[in-house]
Amino acid sequence: MHQTLVRVNQRVIKEAISSHTGTNYPFYSASRLLSEASSKQFYQEVDNLYFRFQQQATLDQMLYPTEELKPFKTY
């Protein structure tokens, strides 16, 4: 299962990078120097956002008919 998830995510990232040549595309990558405290704060914020994403997806699946939902992949 792990290998499948890695392969799928690598394919999505490759698609996001290679098929969009402009400056406005849905993939972000950044590397900056930060203190340990700032790094921990950002990791916590990412975890919180991921939790909200999961909650919203669950709510949408309970409240909307399937035909009104569309796949959404985070990058």
DSSP the chain: -HHHHHHHHHHHHHHHHHS--SS--S---------HHHHHHHHHHHHHHHHHHHHHHHHHHHHS-GGG-------
- What are 10-56's pLDDT values in tens digits? 887 777 677 666 666 666 667 789 999 999 999 999 999 999 999 99
Question: Rounded to two decimals, what is the model's pTM?
Answer: 0.58
